[in-house]
Amino acid sequence: MFSNTYDAQKKAPAVMAEPVGILKYPHSLLASTSAPVDRIDSSIRAISQRMLATMLMAPGFGLAANQVGVPKRILTVNPARIMDEPAPGPMVMINPEVRESRGGEWDEEGCLSLPGLYGFVKRPTWAILEYTDLEGEKVEMEAEGYLARCLLHELDHLDGTLFWDRLPASQRNLLKLKFFTRMEWAR
Ligand code: ZN
């Protein structure tokens, strides 16, 4: 599943940061486009560590920086939690981009920013992504199946898109109704 320049043996970053709160819909940052990271400095490393801690604590398959209030193009993913086969530990991806994608399949998705809601979303089944790692190295990664889905879901966040934005309006409206009804109950 991993190939090209991605080194699966590379040590996963040690997670020693405090988790942070995850923004929930309808926070405006979730609908905004995140800005590219132009320099990987100590603040980018710090937020990446906090994202890893937050993703592991949630627990989630992945997380985008705007979900924790930072509108930068950073995402974290935990392949070991997604794949059945042996997979690398938690990863940080800076300025990720889709180089190529193929296929299309419907499968169920949820989102830490839309707790308790699920929908069937059509996405490519295979993708090649390019990103920069925390050491500043350009990495190319091939992903398929649910890992590709999770990565594309997180990439969507960086452009202000939630999974329900990819559903037909009737389904989206039903999920929104469910979401706001629950908020009423929680009051
Ligand atoms: Zn999400």
Query: Do 109 and 118 touch, CB atoms closer than 8 A?
Result: yes
Provide the pLDDT for residue 114.
Answer: 96
**pLDDT-derived band at 185, boundaries 50, 70, 90:** confident
pLDDT tens for each residue of 149-183 = 999 999 999 999 999 999 999 999 999 999 999 87
Distance 122 CA to ligand 1 centre (A): 15
Query: What is the torsional sign of CA 88, 67, 102, 119?
Result: positive
Q: Are strands 105-109 and 119-123 parallel, antiparallel or unpaired?
A: antiparallel
Contact between 98 and 155 under an 8 Å Cβ cutoff? The reply is yes
Per-residue pLDDT at 12 exceeds 90: no
Give me ligand 1 centre to Cα 63, in Å.
Answer: 7
> Which residues contact residue 88 at a Cβ distance below 8 angstroms, ignoring those fewer than 6 apart?
2, 8, 10, 12, 79, 80
Cβ neighbors of 86 (< 8 A, separation 6 or more) are none
- CA–CA gap between residue 142 and residue 33 (Å, rounded): 24
**Which residues neighbour ligand 1 (ion) by CB within 5 Å?**
111
Give distance in angstroms: CA of 10 to centre of ligand 1.
26
Above 50 in pLDDT, residue 1? no
pLDDT band at 14 (very low <50, low <70, confident <90, very high): low
Catalytic residue among 109, 135, 144, 154: 154
Bond into 88 cis (ω within 30): no
**Residue 123 Cα distances to 33, 61, 161, 167, angstroms:** 20, 16, 14, 11
What is the pLDDT at residue 2?
46
The domain at 2-186 falls in which architecture?
Alpha-Beta Complex (3.90)
Mean model confidence pLDDT for the chain? 92
pTM comes to 0.90
Annotated active-site residue 154? The verdict is: yes
Asked whether 74 and 37 are in contact (CB, 8 A), the reply is: yes
At 110 the three-state DSSP class reads coil
Tell me how far the alpha carbon of residue 86 lies from the centroid of ligand 1, in angstroms.
24
User: What integer is the mean pLDDT of 104-124?
Assistant: 96
